[in-house]
Chain A
Amino acid sequence: MSSETAKPKVATIWLDGCSGCHMSLLDTDERLVDLVNAVDVIYSPIVDPKQFPEDVTVTLVEGAVSSEHDREMALIIRKNSKLVVSLGDCAVTGNVPAMRNAFKTTELLDRAYKENAAHNAKHPTVGLSPLIEKAQPLHAVIDVDLFLPGCPPPADAIFTLITDILAGRETQVTELTRFGR
């Protein structure tokens, strides 16, 4: 048990993203076994815990910050993580979620829930966090330590970044990936 708890604790989360960066993480294929042996994945869409844990070594964040909930999560992530990584273009640049930023949020909600609704045309009031005025890259909201662009970042780039972090090495990310990819 003691050796288990000595492993670095990794969390992954997606905010306003499409899950594609997490799919790319899973595309590391058999190397996932090495990763899982080297770290404890203590919070992620692919593991059980529902509360973001305290005392996380590295958190990989996919997605832009688009809602009040995203913003609250970002603050918790920063407070509880030693290292925060922006994983993929939405977290790094805003990317597709930020394409709505030229419009008012009421215009967006009208478009989605009124103009295109066949029944019950009204803005949602329950279960959805309110949109913030503009979808933002993560580092516009909290300090971010490392950036891995790409839509999604290639599996090799994600694997290299994580293994470099564990080994205490610096990663030349623009040699591994780029905006858009």
Chain B
Amino acid sequence: MNMSTLATPQVITLQIDGQDVSARADESILDVARENGIDIPTMCHLDGLDPVGACRLCLIEIEGTPKLLPACMTYAEEGMRVLTDSPRLQKYRRTILELIFAERNHVCSVCVSNGHCELQNMAVKLGVSHVTVAYRYPKMEVDSSHDRFRLDHNRCILCTRCVRVCDAVEGAHTKDVMGRGVLSAIIHDLNEPWGDSDTCTSCGKCVHVCPTGALVEKGTASSEMAKRTQFLPYLTRMREHHS
């Protein structure tokens, strides 16, 4: 290998929560923070999938910028001063989480993912004991047409982890998002029942990256649906080694 062709990664110094940290220019604030033991809450982020900034829980404040920016989609810059846990951010994060709870029908007590749910755990983490915004109670469909898996739209938070893993890791792109705003929903192929999909390989990756009980294995009862996401960083790393 000719070492001279390798670009030297640009090293940047910035400040996160008053702590001086160094980063590469291609690193997100989220990555840099986590490398330095600074925890920023996330729902849509998953190591091994490209970030999309969908859930907005990782919003941060950057000195000199009036807007709040998602840490997963914001890249480190020289001299940046970042706040990840200001009272303002804590308040917005709680409200964002409450909006997620209120948007669909999350009934933890009867959910197969009760006790294994990232949304439920996030409420504990952010100290959300109740939802102050009005619940919407939309009438949502449950797609049980697949032999092994079920999609319950009531419990979906539209993080799009399933869409991304299906496209980028499995290469099938069976899943996607249709509609706008509160009418957005996960679909299969051209909005067909999951069981009728010609492209789905039934690999189950979508089920195991889903943070809630929206995507589950059939035959699980209340509290039984533990997810296994360990495969994803492993697969990603093996592919990086081969490419």
Chain A residues packing against B (C-beta within 8 Å)? 86, 89, 92-96, 98-99, 101-103, 134, 137, 139-140, 144, 147-149, 151, 172-174, 178-181
User: Closest residue of chain B to A179, judged by CB?
Assistant: B108
In Å, the complex CA distance between A173 and B126 comes to: 12
Interface 9-residue window, one of B131-139, B173-181, B232-240: B131-139
- Please measure, in the bound complex, the distance between the C-alpha atom of A147 and the C-alpha atom of B134, giving whole angstroms: 16
Complex: A179 Cα to B137 Cα, angstroms: 17
- B124 and A89 contacting across the interface, CB-CB below 8 Å: no
Interchain CB contact under 8 A, B137 and A98: yes
Determine the chain B residues whose CB is within 8 A of the CB of A89 once the complex forms.
108-109
Please name all residues of chain B whose beta carbon is closer than 8 Å to the beta carbon of A93 when the two chains form the complex. 101, 107, 130-131, 135
Q: Is the CB of A86 within 8 A of B130?
A: yes
Q: Could you say which residues of chain A place their CB within 8 Å of the CB of B108?
A: 89, 151, 178-181
Q: How far is the CA of A37 from the CA of B138 in the complex (A)?
A: 46
Cβ contacts under 8 Å, B140 to chain A: 102
**Is B130 within 8 A of A172, CB to CB?**
no
Cα distance A98–B101 in the bound complex, in angstroms: 13
- Residue of A at shortest CB range from B117? A180
Q: Known pairs A92-B129, A101-B135, A178-B120. 20 more at Cβ < 8 A?
A: A86-B130, A93-B135, A98-B135, A98-B137, A99-B107, A102-B137, A147-B130, A149-B129, A174-B123, A174-B127, A178-B121, A178-B123, A179-B109, A180-B108, A180-B111, A180-B114, A180-B117, A181-B108, A181-B109, A181-B114
Residue of chain B at shortest CB distance from A144: B130
Interface on B for A, CB 8 Å cutoff? 101, 105-111, 114-115, 117, 120-121, 123-124, 127-132, 134-135, 137-140
B170 CB, nearest partner CB in chain A, Å? 30
Asked if B109 contacts A96 (CB within 8 A), the reply is yes
Q: Chain B residues near A178 (CB, 8 Å)? A: 108, 120-121, 123-124
Task: For A102, list chain B residues within 8 Å (CB).
Answer: 105, 137-140
CB-CB < 8 A to A96: which residues of B?
107, 109-110
A-B contact pairs, 23 of them (CB 8 A): A86-B130, A93-B131, A98-B105, A98-B107, A98-B137, A99-B107, A103-B139, A134-B137, A137-B130, A139-B130, A140-B135, A147-B129, A148-B129, A149-B130, A174-B123, A174-B128, A178-B121, A178-B123, A179-B106, A179-B108, A180-B117, A180-B120, A181-B114
Contacts A174-B129, A178-B120; A137 near B107 (Cβ below 8 A): no
B137 proximity list for chain A (CB < 8 A): 98, 101-102, 134
- 4 nearest A-B pairs in the assembled complex, by CB-CB distance: A180-B108, A151-B109, A102-B139, A101-B137
**Interface residue from B101, B114, B129 paired with A173 (Cβ < 8 Å):** B129
Chain B residue with the shortest CB-CB distance to A136: B135
Bound state CA distance, A10 and B101, in angstroms? 31
Q: Are B127 and A179 within 8 A (Cβ)?
A: no
What separation, in Å, do the CA atoms of A99 and B137 have in the docked complex?
Answer: 8
Cβ–Cβ < 8 Å partners of A173 in chain B: 129
Q: Which residue of A lies closest to B139 (CB)?
A: A102
Minimum CB distance partner of A88 in chain B = B109
State how many angstroms separate the Cβ of A51 from the closest Cβ of chain B.
29
The answer to whether B107 touches A95, judged by C-beta atoms less than 8 angstroms apart, is yes
B residues within 8 A CB of A151? 108-109
User: B131 contacts which chain A residues (CB < 8 A)?
Assistant: 93, 137
| Beta-carbon nearest neighbor of B119 in chain A | A179
Q: A94 → chain B, closest Cβ, in Å?
A: 6
CB neighbours (8 Å) of B139 from chain A are 102-103
How far is A173 from B101 in the complex, measured between Cα atoms in Å? 18
Residues of A within 8 A of B107 (CB): 93, 95-96, 98-99
Q: Are B111 and A94 in contact (CB under 8 A)?
A: no
Central interface residue in B124, B128, B129, B140, by most chain A CB within 10 Å: B129
